A and B are shown apart, each in its own frame.
Chain A
């Protein structure tokens, strides 16, 4: 449990540094900084191990994903990571532009591609976590895989967030305001067309659900 607290309390800047280091996107000085952090912090090393495992899984999934439909499948499979905990989003990542997501590469892009600005991992822990968020699940047009990502906004310290009022009455729009995850994971797919359903996949820790997302 104390290990989990260490992970959760690692400064965001250090967490970001490790993620960029895992992607090999750091310059020489920043790389040295990341290595020093790993040498000095047990929490950083624990997170590094999680990131490496995540990276391995992502790579294995991505290598199998030749077609866009399979890539979508791979994105969903990433949510099967055991003990995944969704953390509150920082302000500056609210409503992360889809276009920017599409330009990103590597692990961060995969994680953000899930629809979350930041994801914390606590492997092997059946911990409960509350993610305060709003998922705007309005209809989206078919397109590249990452374009299917739902927009997410968050307001720290509250379970509500400002929502666009562009909808007309009885538009059937769906917002996920709050998630309380006991185990497993959750994936939200916005409707593909007006009047369609918002699809919410519920994953168990044993990775039972496979291939969520369909053929599209």
Chain B
């Protein structure tokens, strides 16, 4: 009888140990991480140089011609120096070489507004940094005078 009781006690003890082990294992299992979609945005960057030469606009800048011509009364010659499209994920940075240093674009993520805007930080070398929220398709022209030239950075934001 005692042997039988002993076997029952051992069996119960084993079951209890199994139960505790299972509970402990479950407690140590990390909760499932919700899959988060990687946000991505594209930045088409064109670096343009404006000088006071004869009036002309690079044919590759046809979509900007009207705005460039009205930018400044003294600068009439516009040449495309560089064109690059950068695809960035949240938190990553892209750089653009300018004559006075590197312009940095950092994608901060999409805004939670009804219109999802692309939030990004633009650092102008040695001058300032701005955080911008731009709806897809939006465009900015950053203008800086360096010597006798204007350096214009045309940035078109996309998704």
Contacts and interface: CB of A to CB of B under 8 A. Distances in A.
Interface stretch (A12-20, A25-33, A149-157, A174-182): A174-182
Given A202-B127, A216-B70, A170 B132 contact: no
B134 A197 contact: no
A39 interface: no
B98 to A, nearest CB: 11
Interface in A164-216: 165, 167-184, 186, 192, 195-202, 204, 208-216
B60 interface: no
B145 to A, nearest CB: 4
A181 B128 CA distance: 4
A134 to B, nearest CB: 8
A163 interface: yes
B131 A198 contact: no
Interface string B130-149: 11111111111111111000
B139 A198 contact: yes
Contacts of B141: 197-200
A159 interface: yes
Interface stretch (B19-27, B35-43, B89-97, B110-118): B110-118
B129 interface: yes
Contacts, number: 126
Given A198-B138, A198-B139, A202-B127, A176 B114 contact: no
Contact of A214 (B70, B116, B130, B138): B70
A209 B139 contact: no
Nearest to B124: A202
A204 B144 CA distance: 8
**A interface secondary structure, majority:** loop
Contact of B135 (A170, A176, A178, A213): A170
Contact of A171 (B67, B73, B115, B127): B115
Contacts of A172: 134-139
Interface residues of B, number: 36
Contacts of B135: 167, 169-174
B129 to A, nearest CB: 4
Given A202-B124, A214-B70, A216-B70, A174 B132 contact: yes
A178 B129 CA distance: 8
A196 to B, nearest CB: 6
B18 interface: no
A204 B115 contact: no
Contacts of B126: 182-183
28 contacts: A163-B113, A165-B114, A168-B115, A171-B135, A172-B136, A172-B137, A174-B132, A174-B135, A174-B139, A175-B132, A176-B132, A177-B132, A178-B131, A180-B128, A180-B129, A180-B130, A181-B128, A182-B129, A183-B128, A196-B139, A197-B141, A200-B140, A202-B144, A209-B145, A210-B145, A211-B73, A212-B72, A216-B70
Please provide the 9 A-B residue pairs with the shortest distance between their CB atoms, ordered closest to farther: A172-B138, A178-B131, A172-B137, A209-B145, A175-B133, A180-B129, A177-B131, A197-B139, A202-B144
Interface of B: 64, 67, 70-74, 113-117, 119, 124, 126-146, 154
